[in-house]
Amino acid sequence: MIQQLIIFLLFIAAAAYVARLVYNSFKSKSGCAKGCGACSTIDFSKIDKQIKTSAGK
C-alpha cells in the first residue's frame, strides 16, 4: 500500500512539472520558455546590423 502511494505521489509531481512547462511555453511572450533569461538577452536585430556592417567593409 505504501509503495502505491509513493508511486502515485511521484506521478502527480511529474504531471504537475510537465503541466507547468506546457503552461510556461504558452505564457512566454518572447524567446523560449526555459525561464533562465538567456533568450531575452539576445538582441537579434543588433547582431544582424553588426553582420551587415562587417560584411560591407
Domain boundaries, given as residue ranges, for the chain: 2-56
pLDDT tens profile 9-30: 999 999 999 999 888 777 756 5
Question: What is the C-alpha to C-alpha distance for residues 4 and 48, in angstroms, rounded to an integer?
Answer: 55
Counting every residue written for the chain, the total comes to 57
pTM greater than 0.75 (yes/no): no
Residue 17: predicted pLDDT: 95
Burial of 36 (0-12, 13-18, 19+ CB in 10 A): exposed
